[in-house]
Structures are given as C-alpha cells and as structure tokens.
Amino acid sequence: MTAYKTGITAILVLLSVTVFGIGLFLLQSPGTAAWTPQELRTIRSLSLTNLPPAEDKSNRYAHNEKAIALGTQLFFDKRLSRNGQVSCASCHQPDNYFSDGQTIAMGQDIGRRNTPSLHGIAYNDWFFWDGRKDSLWSQALAPLENPAEHDFSRTAVARLITGDPHYYQAYTEIFGSVEIPDQQTLAADAQPSGSIAQIQAWKALPEQQRKQVDRLFANTGKALAAYVTTLKPLQTRFDDYIEALNSEKSNNQSLLNEQELRGLRLFISDKAACINCHSGPLLTNQSFHNIGSGGKNDSGRAAAISRVKLDRFNCLGEYSDAPPNQCQELKFMQTERHQTWGSFKTPSLRNVSNTAPYFHDGRYKALSEVLDHYTNAKTEDTHLSVIKLNAQDKLDLIAFLTTLTANQ
Amino acid sequence: MFTKTSTILITSLILLSGCVAESAPAPWQISQTGTNNIYQAHLDCETQPETGPFQNCTVSFTDLQGVNITPETILIDGGMPLHGHGLPTSPVLTTLEQTGTYRIDGLKYNMPGAWLLGFKVSTSQNDDKIIFDFVI
C-alpha cells in the first residue's frame, strides 16, 4: 500500500513538474500568443550561435594573421586601380555595412549589379549575384580586372605587389619567394581577357611568366579574402531575442515589440513564406531562385554556369588549395540552363533595413516595394507561390526586418 | 507493487525526457514502386531529408519480387512542382561493389515543402519511373 501511495505521489510530482514547465513556457512566450515547438525550432535555426567558423578549403590562408594584415591593406589601397581612385572599399564601404547605397555599383564606370554587403559573406557557397565565382578569394580577383570597377590588370597587380617593398616583404613572408614574376620584364598591362591590346600582351608573355602572374594574382585574392573573412555577421536585436529565449530568462518580451513579433510570426509562416528561402543564421539558403526579377536583360545564374566551370581560379583549378573531394558545390552544381534562367542568389537579410536598394539591379529603394513585388509577382515561370499580405502584414514584416539590422 | 511503481516512474521519466532531449539524426530508408509497376527503388540515406547539407544516400533497384536488377541506364531528377523548380544540384550515381546498389553524390534540397525525387530505370526488357514524394 505504501509503495502504491509512493507511486501515486511520484506521478503527481511528475505531472506538477510538467504543468509547471508548460506554465513557465507560456510565461516566457513572446507576443500575443506562445510559440509552438515547431515555431521555436524555426526561430532558433536563425540564431548566429548556429554558425560554425567560416571555412574555405580552397584558401589555406583564410585565417592566416599575416594574410589578414596584407589583405586589409590591399582592400583599402586605391593604387589597385587604373586611375588610382578605386579600392575595394570604394563600393564596400565600412560605414555602410561594406555596401554603398547605390542602385548599381560605380567604379571606373557604371557597373551591372548592386553592391552586396560583406558581413558574413565568407559563409557563402557562391559569390556575385549569379554565383559566377565559387570562393571568396576567386571572387576578389574579378573586380580588379573589370573595366567598370578597378580596371586594373593582372600584370599591373603583380607589378604593384613586387614593386612595393612593403607589399613584397609581406607577400613573400606569407606565400614564399618562389614563382615571383620578374618585375623588370613584366608587361605593364596584360591579362587573358580584356582589351585586344591586353590580351595580345598576355599572349606575348612566356608561359612560365603567365603562370607566375596567375599564382601571384590568386594569392592576392587569398589575402583579400582573409581580410573579408574577418567581417563576421553582427549581433542584432533579433539575435538577443533568440538568446533570451534560449537562456530561459523571462525578460525577452521587451526585446521585440508586439508589431515586430507579429512580423516574425509572419516571416516564418506559410502565409508570407519568407523563411522558404531566407533561412538559416544568415537568412539565406545560399541558393539561386527565379523570383521574376531577371529575364531578357539578365539571365542571371544561367549565364554564370559555364563561366564558373571553366574558371581557372575555381575550386578544382590548380591555384585552389582544396582536394577535389572538397569541391562538392562546384562538382554537383545545377547545370541546366532552363532551370537556372533568371535566377539570382538569395541575399542575406542581415542589416537589410540599412542596405537599400534591393535586388540584383537595385531596382527597389524601400522594403515596402520589395514586399509589393512578392505579392504582385506572377507565379508562372518563377519559383514563387502565391503570397497574399495585407497592408498591416507588410508593416509588421518590415518592423521585424528592422530587428535584423545591427549597430555598426 | 514495487515493480509496478518503478515501471510507472521509469515510463514517466522516459516520456518526460523525450520532451526535452534532442534526438540523434535518424537514417532514412524508404522504398517505392514504379509508375509502370515493374521495378522498385530502395533509398538508404544516412539522414532524413533536410534543407542545406548534402544528403548521403545509396539506392538499389529490384523487381517486385525483391530480386536485384542492374539497369542499363538510370536517370535521377527531382524538384518542387509547387515552386516550379528542380533540384538545386545535379546528383550523380556511382556503381558500388554490391550488385545493383549505387551511391548518390551531390544530392541536396534548398527549401522546405513538398519534394519529388525520381529515378528513370531502363533494362533491356522494361522501363519504369520511380518517384519518391516527401515533405521537408
């Protein structure tokens, strides 16, 4: 009988603990209603704490302190441009979340696409809006040779690095002094693509010198990438809210207001479906989607597939530090043009309210216009499903999106 | 009585702990018969399908009696019909030593929702299309 009573008591204690736990959960629950366990899992999946250190197997110098120091200097050095007026920081401005606030990037000339922010960019699988580069170091090389950006050239980069005593010393300390092209015999303005004169000058170089220049060029990109890898995602009010949820503190309700919580609920709901693509700690699924923004003027990912496949600076190329089995994204990328036509990379939403304008071509100046795009978009020939939001829904979503912006 | 009480206690504790403990990644084993009702495909994956990482799987094919077959050609395809797009990657099948079993490399999913993953198998005798449909 005593044992029976003990059993009943034990069950009652367990039930009490369970009820107390549920009560505590409800007390902690934010907003107008408690989060369901599924909603909580989804919200927690967006936490920065889920991010491992950024890794790039193709760049063994990504976390090298000396490479970071060299990359920092190169990033802000305007001598890496034809007119001496453009550095990486000209468009990736530190005071603007490493973006520029312009519709289209402007270097030596008007560019083609909007400048993305660089915070957390090292976590990307693909780079540029169309993913025509598969590593951060390889991406960093393209603007240097682009006539609309730095309009420098491959041999001009090599001449600057080898001709500047400080850069030369820093470079050789990191990458060694083997395979350094001879400064005296190096053509001033040569690269394998560009003007006819640049291409002819490149072809006139001895093969060994071309390889030396390519090696130095790739290493320059690896140093730049080492610096950009240090630009980590910034802690936001939304991250504070998730941490408060996780730490079981009861003061989390004050971190997001009622409207922001309604926006969060919409964000993760099937109704707004933002979470379908803006998922994970960086609020991007790292994938390419046709949301009706591309088309006749810009086929997006479809035009980038062969470029990244044939790129000598890709993950499988001779300047990559990755073994081939670490190049899964490149090896198994979707290569069907009709599937990728008009698709662009899902951008991160971190700092979104302070990094306007939006979309690959910077067509929208306000988040309200972006939301209007989704509710008005045609679903045929795109990856979108029907999204219906009323005016209040949109205001709530925008309120939530502002919580994803960090103080700089 | 003591045994009963202990059983109740242990059962309750297990039930409670199940509410809070994170479950270990579960393998995903699933079979499907083809639309022509000739062949079956058997998927054996290390993890459940989820958005993000590559999913490591093998696939084998049998007739309806469970006898392994070795198709002359196998095509793999998939996607999200509701969103009008295919797989984000181009998975590749590699023959393994075990007859009729293939490793799938490069398989991943990029959105939650309803997915299809299909195999078109052709032997010298027949063709069949085997389609798995599942929700992430």
pLDDT in tens, A160-180: 999 999 999 999 999 999 889
pLDDT of residue B18: 40
Residue A22 has pLDDT above 90, yes or no: no
| pLDDT at A16 exceeding the cut of 80 | no
The residue of chain B nearest to residue A270, with distances taken between CA atoms, is: B113
Give the per-residue pLDDT at A27. 43
The pLDDT value given to residue A179: 86
Quote the CA–CA distance of A284 and A46 in Å, as a whole number.
10
**B88/A288 Cβ within 8 A:** yes
Tell me the whole-structure pTM to 2 decimals.
0.87
Convert the pLDDT of each residue in A308-356 to its tens digit. Answer: 999 999 999 999 999 999 999 999 999 999 899 999 999 999 999 999 9
CA distance A339 to chain B (A): 6
- CB contact under 8 Å between B9 and A7, yes or no, is yes
- Amino acid type, A9: T
Mean pLDDT of B96-106: 87
Output the CA angle A196-A197-A199, nearest 5 degrees. 65
Least confident of A5-14, A324-333, B104-113: A5-14
Given a cut of 90, is residue A42 above it in pLDDT? yes
A188-200 pLDDT, tens per residue?
999 999 999 999 9
Joined tokens for residue A161? 């690095």
Provide the Cα torsion A74, A77, A83, A85; round to 10°: 140
- Whether residues A280 and B52 touch (CB distance < 8 A) is answered with yes
Q: How far apart are CA B97 and CA B14, in angstroms?
A: 42
A247-302 residue pLDDT tens: 865 566 679 999 999 999 999 999 999 999 999 999 999 999 999 998 778 999 99
Are B106 and A328 inside 8 Å of each other by CB?
A: yes
In angstroms, the CA A140 to CA A138 distance is: 5
Task: Kindly determine whether residue B8 and residue A11, on different chains, have CB atoms separated by under 8 Å.
Answer: yes
Chain A residue with minimum CA distance to B105: A332
pLDDT per residue over A133-155, tens digit each?
999 999 999 999 999 999 999 99
What are the backbone dihedrals phi and psi of residue B60, each rounded to the nearest 5 degrees, phi first? -130, 160
User: Which of B1, B82, B106 minimises the CB distance to A332?
Assistant: B106
A165, A181, A258, A259, B122 from B133: Cα distances, Å: 62, 57, 38, 37, 21
Closest CA in chain B for residue A328: B106
